[in-house]
Copies of this chain bind each other. A is one copy, B any other.
Amino acid sequence: MPPRTRRSEALTRQRIVDAAIELLDTTGDAGLTFRTLTERLATGPGAIYWHVANKGELLAAATEALVTAALPADLPGGIHGVALGLFDAISAHPWLATQLATQLSRSPSKSVTPLIFEAIGREVRALDVPDGDQFIAASALLHYILGAAGQNAANARVAGSGTERAEFLNSVSKAWEQLDPDDYPFTRAVAAQMREHDDREQFLAGIDLILAGITARER
């Protein structure tokens, strides 16, 4: 029998969170289990539970770490900067989309929700939106950003590389074009755009559309 792998560093909460992120990135949502995690960290489940209360807390910690990194206090670019910061984080870590949705709804007073809401709200305020409209404007931006970024990440997750991605979008586009013309005129009409669109460009156009609505109401 080969000698047991010896851990080079002591087990810490931070090391566990890092390993979890790596596992989620490489093997996807379903890839993180306490079995795979203990294997990677060369330890037993009990050791992990000493540092972390349960799987939910572990996922929350992983999510918070990435969101904090994506939204530094000195982030430039106004609302577009915030939107792209989250967009890129979700692109790099597709599982974040699902996590953020659950965290937002299950624990709206916990760290990650105020973190994102504040970053968006700060920029909404900078646009001189009247007080009564700020909550709605920030909510609309929040939901659009998370939804659109998640959608895009999902496409990337299914597709993998660049050419695979093109193939995937192409197959979706084709499926849409084959829908019943009477029942699905709109979906058929935009099928071509589904194939050709540039993600970031499309994403930012959506932001601008919402911003146009915000400033239109200002007057």
Which residues of A are at the interface with B, using a C-beta cutoff of 8 A? Answer: 97-98, 101-102, 104-106, 108-109, 114, 117-118, 121-122, 124-125, 131, 133-140, 142-144, 146-148, 150-151, 153-155, 158, 171-172, 175-176, 179, 183-187, 189-190, 193-194, 197, 202, 205-206, 209-217
Given contacts A108-B154, A213-B213, 6 further A-B contacts (CB under 8 A): A101-B150, A104-B151, A117-B187, A118-B185, A134-B190, A210-B210
A136's partner among B109, B206, B214 (CB-CB below 8 A) is B206
A122 to B153, CA, bound (A): 26
- Across the interface, name the chain B residue whose C-beta is closest to A122: B186
Contacting pair A186 B134 (CB below 8 A): yes
Residues of B within 8 A of A158 (CB): 106
Alpha-carbon gap, A109 to B173, bound state (A) = 8
State the main secondary structure of chain A at its contact with B: helix
**Across the interface, which residues of B come within 8 angstroms of A187, CB to CB?**
114, 117-118, 121
- Give complex CA distance A155, B113 in Å: 14
State how many copies of this chain the complex holds.
2
Flag if A143 contacts B151 (CB, 8 Å): yes
Point out the residues of chain B lying under 8 angstroms from A109, CB to CB. 171-172, 175-176
Beta-carbon contact of A138 and B186 below 8 Å: yes
| Selected contact of A148 from candidates B139, B184, B217, CB within 8 Å | B139
Q: How far is the CB of A201 from chain B (nearest CB, A)?
A: 10
Interface centre among A153, A202, A205 (most CB of B within 10 A): A205
Tell me whether B138 and A147 are in contact (CB under 8 A). no
Q: B residues within 8 A CB of A146?
A: 143, 147
Looking at the assembled complex, report how far the CB atom of A91 sits from the nearest CB atom of chain B, in whole angstroms: 13
